[in-house]
């Protein structure tokens, strides 16, 4: 029997799952140091609004975590964003699934956005994520590392089609992890020279 195939979209697995943590430093220690998942991208969100870190879970897939200084405590039922990202409702509770992103080919990204719209799905504007002050580019430039479009499922789960535009490198890990009180870890993510710590810490 042939393997069932998706004839609508060339979905290539999970691009990343984004959860929310209470303490980014503790999260790095657990996922990188205990589970062995490499930390491949760190983002300090604009205007001191939080952090976004990515862990490699294999096959080009990532598990990502947000840290927000003003996130509510974990509570059953507070499990998805209030609005799509461009409307300002990105914050969710500790331990929640903020959104689920499906990995799609970058060369098919724009066509897939239009296909979603043609199916009557309300989608966000396209986000070309880069490392500028507000982390969004109107155009696809060499600084853009992923392209995204967001939409809800019928139950309000926030979904994303995401397309990586380039591989991650050591320069993409450049921020210390937020702690629960809003401070930043020291020597957890970056060494004394500011280079990323690529191997798990042991002992202690």
- Is 191 inside a domain boundary? no
- Is 184 inside a domain boundary? no
**Is the whole model's pTM more than 0.85, yes or no?**
no
CA distances from 192 to 6, 186, 188, 197 (A): 48, 9, 10, 10
Q: Phi and psi (nearest 5°) for 85?
A: -55, -40
- Is 6 inside a domain boundary? no
What value does the mean pLDDT take over residues 59-74?
90
| Total domains present in the chain | 1
- Is 188 inside a domain boundary? no
- pLDDT higher for 1 or 102? 102
- Is 65 inside a domain boundary? yes
Strands 14-20 and 97-103: antiparallel
Give the tokens for residue 34: 């205990």
- Is 135 inside a domain boundary? yes
Model confidence pLDDT, tens digit, residues 74-112: 754 477 787 888 887 788 888 888 888 889 999 999 999
Residue 203's pLDDT is 55
Residue 107's pLDDT is 97
User: Could you tell me the pLDDT band of residue 28, with boundaries at 50, 70 and 90?
Assistant: very high
Question: Residue 109 in 3-state DSSP?
Answer: helix
Domain that holds residue 23: 14-172
- Is 144 inside a domain boundary? yes
Question: Counting runs of H as helices and runs of E as strands, what totals does the chain give?
Answer: 2, 9
User: Could you tell me the pLDDT band of residue 3, with boundaries at 50, 70 and 90?
Assistant: low
- Is 142 inside a domain boundary? yes
| CATH code, domain with 160 | 3.10.180.10
């Amino acid at each position: 029997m042939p393997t069932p195939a998706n004839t609508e979209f060339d979905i290539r697995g999970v691009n990343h799952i984004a959860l929310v943590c209470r303490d980014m430093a503790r999260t790095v220690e657990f996922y990188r140091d205990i589970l062995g998942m490499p930390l491949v991208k760190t983002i300090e969100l604009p205007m001191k609004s939080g952090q976004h870190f990515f862990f490699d879970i294999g096959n080009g897939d990532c598990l990502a975590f947000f840290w927000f200084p003003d996130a509510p405590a974990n509570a059953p039922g507070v499990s998805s964003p209030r609005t799509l990202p461009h409307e300002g409702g990105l914050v969710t509770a500790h331990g929640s699934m903020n959104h689920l992103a499906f990995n799609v080919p970058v060369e098919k990204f724009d066509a897939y956005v239009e296909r979603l719209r043609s199916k009557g799905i309300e989608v966000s504007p396209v986000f070309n994520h880069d490392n500028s002050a507000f982390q969004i580019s109107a155009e696809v430039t060499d600084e853009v590392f992923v392209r995204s479009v967001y939409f809800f499922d019928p139950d309000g789960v926030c979904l994303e089609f995401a397309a990586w535009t380039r591989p991650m490198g050591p320069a993409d890990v450049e921020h210390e992890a937020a702690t629960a009180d809003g401070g930043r870890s020291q020597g957890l993510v970056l060494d004394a020279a500011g280079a990323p710590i690529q191997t798990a810490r042991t002992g202690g």
